[in-house]
Amino acid sequence: MRKLFIAGNWKMNKTISETVELVNSLKREVSDIEGVDIVICPGFTSLSEAADLVIDSNIGLGAQNVYWQEKGAFTGEVSPMMLKDAGCKYVIIGHSERRKYFGETNDTVLKKINAVQSVRLIPIVCVGETLEERDNKKTIEVIEKQLQDGFKGINEDNLEKIIIAYEPVWAIGTGKTATPEQAEEIHKFIRDWIQEKYSLDLSEEVRIIYGGSVKASNAKELMSQKNIDGALVGGASLESQLFVELIKNSL
């Protein structure tokens, strides 16, 4: 049985004091909620403060990006060990905004997965097609390539520790959600791909979450799909009440 996984991707939002406020409120509101892994991914500058606040709570901490080198002359980058040291357990890799604005590719995704797994951080790896690719009936081809290249050489033990996020680019921050059927189709494709390339057992273990304009009002329908195991939430994770309602509706 796969445990529900809901992560808030705060993107480039929230100062440290705003982070403290939001985390304190979330902690109060979700303390009794069970049966779901709840994760927040604040900006780098707030991670350490957030880590202190979520200790002994049922909220996990993740970062939004990482570099694959251990250390050295890479001005502006943050290493896997630095994230671990700041208190992170998870890290988002290959988000479409990183692919679009910062040149992230399937190749850098793979490097990052290997680097973070070597310090036992859990990668949340994003895949998804653009609107143009969907319109040109290229969705499956694009996702397959992202999986094939992004997970090249990743063994069964390590794939089990990855969370895959299907995020159609056209649904991110646009208010346009994939219909539950559209999302389920791709989630099933990803699970079948894991079964074919690895094993049936593994395909049943790996959590595949959906992202793209998830909110309290559509969470239930999306989460009730057989192959959707949670959500990666942007906009609706920036306010305590919205995020908590979304989580409750997902259970």
Tokens of 123: 């990668």
For position 173 contacting ligand PGA by CB under 6 A, the verdict is yes
CB 143 within 8 Å of CB 188? no
Q: Which residues contact 212 (CB under 8 A, 6 or more apart)?
A: 128, 167, 168, 169, 170, 171, 172, 174, 176, 177, 178
How many residues bind ligand PGA (CB under 6 A)? The answer is 13
Nearer Cβ to ligand PGA, position 88 or 233?
233
Q: How far is the CB of 152 from ligand PGA (least distance, A)?
A: 24
For position 150 contacting ligand PGA by CB under 6 A, the verdict is no
Of the candidate residues 88, 178, 214, 244, the single one contacting ligand PGA (CB under 6 A): 214
Of the candidate residues 172, 183, 190, 208, the single one contacting ligand PGA (CB under 6 A): 172
Q: Which of residues 182-211 bind ligand PGA (CB under 6 A)?
A: 211
| Among the listed residues 64, 68, 44, the one whose alpha carbon sits nearest the alpha carbon of residue 118 | 68
Residues in the chain: 251
Handedness of CA 194, 198, 199, 205 (dihedral sign): negative
Catalytic residue, chosen from 95, 104, 133, 184, is 95
At 76, phi and psi to the nearest 5? 90, -5
Is 187 in the active site?
A: no
Is 167 in the active site?
A: yes
Of the candidate residues 139, 218, 235, 244, the single one contacting ligand PGA (CB under 6 A): 235
Nearer Cβ to ligand PGA, position 81 or 245?
245
For position 234 contacting ligand PGA by CB under 6 A, the verdict is yes
Q: Which residue is nearest to ligand PGA (CB)?
A: 234
Q: CA torsion angle for 99, 163, 122, 44 (degrees, to 10)?
A: 40
The DSSP annotation for 131-194 comes to HHHHHTT-HHHHHHHHHHHHTTT--HHHHHT-EEEE--GGGSSSS-PPPHHHHHHHHHHHHHHH
For position 213 contacting ligand PGA by CB under 6 A, the verdict is yes
Of the candidate residues 6, 61, 219, 232, the single one contacting ligand PGA (CB under 6 A): 232
The DSSP annotation for 182-198 comes to HHHHHHHHHHHHHHHHT
Nearer Cβ to ligand PGA, position 87 or 128?
128
Nearer Cβ to ligand PGA, position 23 or 124?
124
Q: How far is the CB of 245 from ligand PGA (least distance, A)?
A: 14
Handedness of CA 87, 156, 126, 176 (dihedral sign): negative
Q: How far is the CB of 83 from ligand PGA (least distance, A)?
A: 18
Q: Please identify every residue annotated as catalytic.
A: 95, 167
What are the residues binding ligand PGA (CB under 6 A)? 9, 167, 172-173, 211-214, 232-236
